[in-house]
Chain A
């Protein structure tokens, strides 16, 4: 299938998912409330004289993003189970890879929205200086998010059709989430502490390699998860 068609089809799939979410706004609202809740709770559980904001910020940031991502991923194919919508999607005369790409894009937009809410709130509540590092921070968050959302989208296509769908996805995803997440948390810490960029380049490279490997792998493997 030619590349323009693949991209056009995947955009149709993504646009459909995003439209459903935009019309109902159930998932995005519940996650946004959760983000605010986590930020507030962390604030009270912390002794400001013992732990500085900058030390705690990376962990809080990634806890919220991880949870938001798992919620988005569970939703991605759950949506298609109603009225056998998945069968309809599979019967459409489009490449299976474009279904995967579409789901991936929709999930990424969902998680990115949460991240757009989370970062300014973190800066506000915890008085962390984000603006000077906005460029590298955005690159870091994007690279790490693509990594685990790519694997998660692939897995959620399998777990929705198992017996304990919503429970199984985090269990399967955990070992794949931790490498990009640990690099991201370490690099965020360095970045917010004002360390030179050269210190985090290694982690950014690893994240980029991880993304390339797993996005390519997921594209190849996705047909095996939906073919009957």
Chain B
């Protein structure tokens, strides 16, 4: 219960700070010259995208260690991280078209990066569906771990393909070899937003973890009650 409360507090702080990101991005950060106001979405889109991908990597790492140790905590963490990753991936997939319409003139294009973000989302959906389709907890954890590891190994392929295909998508400007090509006023807002998204990820995962722990306890009690 203490963990659930801690998760709630982290999330609340994260949400308040998220409002701060909006204020800072809209009022205190210079407007980008060629893209105008649409560029503001960058401060939400990119941090969400980073965490959508990282969440999958964490699912994979937790899965690897789960198969060795069979520690149920790792399985619970993987499930929590996958659910939060799904939400962040959905944020990326909704903010992207909102930016794309004014800048590219189209909501969606079959660009390598967009396509593979969609598949990352489908990967998450498949992972959650698989968890829902297996009733035996031990089998569920093992199957989910296998899929999680495969998913983690697919992320590099997704990432590499961005550099292989001709793309309309803006190239990385912060996380790239060499220094970020962004003025400090924008970079600081972006870093602030990245911090807030990190906080939100942690908050959501802690809450989700605590909830599935409580559910397991409840199920254990229920089984005893039935017997």
What CA separation (Å) do A174 and B146 show in the bound complex? 16
Task: State whether A225 touches B135 (Cβ < 8 A).
Answer: no
What CA separation (Å) do A225 and B130 show in the bound complex? 13
Judge if B158 is at the interface, Cβ distance under 8 Å: yes
Judge if B122 is at the interface, Cβ distance under 8 Å: yes
A163-B135, A214-B153, A217-B150 are contacts. A174–B145 as well, Cβ < 8 Å?
no
Q: Which residues of A contact B139 (CB under 8 A)?
A: 161
Task: State whether A221 touches B135 (Cβ < 8 A).
Answer: no
Task: State whether A174 touches B150 (Cβ < 8 A).
Answer: no
Task: State whether A174 touches B122 (Cβ < 8 A).
Answer: yes
What CA separation (Å) do A225 and B123 show in the bound complex? 18
What CA separation (Å) do A179 and B119 show in the bound complex? 9
Task: Tell me which residues from 149 to 169 in chain A have a Cβ below 8 Å from any Cβ of chain B.
Answer: 151, 154-155, 158-159, 161-164, 168
By beta carbon, the residue of chain B nearest A209 is: B157
Task: State whether B133 touches A175 (Cβ < 8 A).
Answer: no
Q: B132-174 CB contact bits vs A (8 Å, 1 = yes)?
A: 0111000100110111011101100110110010000000000
What CA separation (Å) do A224 and B147 show in the bound complex? 11
Judge if B218 is at the interface, Cβ distance under 8 Å: no
- Categorize the interface residue count of chain A: 20 to 34
Task: State whether A225 touches B146 (Cβ < 8 A).
Answer: yes
Task: State whether B164 touches A179 (Cβ < 8 A).
Answer: no
Judge if A27 is at the interface, Cβ distance under 8 Å: no
Judge if A79 is at the interface, Cβ distance under 8 Å: no
Chain B interface residue count, CB cutoff 8 Å, equals 30
Judge if B180 is at the interface, Cβ distance under 8 Å: no
Task: State whether B146 touches A158 (Cβ < 8 A).
Answer: yes
Task: State whether A168 touches B143 (Cβ < 8 A).
Answer: no
Task: State whether B150 touches A158 (Cβ < 8 A).
Answer: no
Q: Which residues of B contact A179 (CB under 8 A)?
A: 116, 119, 154, 157-158, 161
What CA separation (Å) do A155 and B123 show in the bound complex? 13
**B148 → A minimal CB distance (Å):** 10
Judge if A112 is at the interface, Cβ distance under 8 Å: no
Judge if A20 is at the interface, Cβ distance under 8 Å: no
Instruction: Classify the interface of chain A: helix, strand, loop or mixed.
Output: helix
Task: State whether B157 touches A224 (Cβ < 8 A).
Answer: no
Task: State whether A175 touches B119 (Cβ < 8 A).
Answer: yes
Judge if A178 is at the interface, Cβ distance under 8 Å: yes
Task: State whether A162 touches B119 (Cβ < 8 A).
Answer: no
**B145 → A minimal CB distance (Å):** 7
Task: State whether B164 touches A213 (Cβ < 8 A).
Answer: no
Task: Tell me which residues from 117 to 159 in chain A have a Cβ below 8 Å from any Cβ of chain B.
Answer: 151, 154-155, 158-159
What CA separation (Å) do A162 and B146 show in the bound complex? 14
Judge if B125 is at the interface, Cβ distance under 8 Å: yes
Of the candidates A154, A202, A227, which one forms a contact with B150 in the assembled complex, judged by CB atoms under 8 Å apart?
A: A154
Q: B173-185 CB contact bits vs A (8 Å, 1 = yes)?
A: 0000000000000
Q: Which residues of B contact A172 (CB under 8 A)?
A: 126, 129-130, 147
Of the candidates A164, A176, A213, A225, which one forms a contact with B133 in the assembled complex, judged by CB atoms under 8 Å apart?
A: A164
Task: State whether B150 touches A171 (Cβ < 8 A).
Answer: no
Task: State whether B130 touches A158 (Cβ < 8 A).
Answer: yes
Q: Which residues of A contact B143 (CB under 8 A)?
A: 158, 162, 225
Task: Tell me which residues from 185 to 227 in chain A have a Cβ below 8 Å from any Cβ of chain B.
Answer: 202, 206, 210, 213-214, 217, 221, 224-225, 227
Task: State whether A224 touches B145 (Cβ < 8 A).
Answer: yes
A158-B130, A163-B135, A225-B142 are contacts. A175–B120 as well, Cβ < 8 Å?
yes
A174-B122, A175-B123 are contacts. A221–B146 as well, Cβ < 8 Å?
yes
By beta carbon, the residue of chain B nearest A158 is: B143
What CA separation (Å) do A217 and B160 show in the bound complex? 19
By beta carbon, the residue of chain B nearest A217 is: B153
What CA separation (Å) do A108 and B139 show in the bound complex? 27
Contacts beyond the supplied A175-B151, A178-B115: 18 A-B pairs with Cβ under 8 Å: A159-B130, A161-B139, A162-B130, A162-B143, A168-B130, A175-B119, A175-B123, A175-B154, A176-B150, A176-B154, A179-B116, A179-B157, A179-B158, A206-B157, A217-B150, A221-B149, A224-B67, A227-B142
Interface, chain A (partner B; CB < 8 A)? 151, 154-155, 158-159, 161-164, 168, 171-172, 174-176, 178-179, 182, 202, 206, 210, 213-214, 217, 221, 224-225, 227
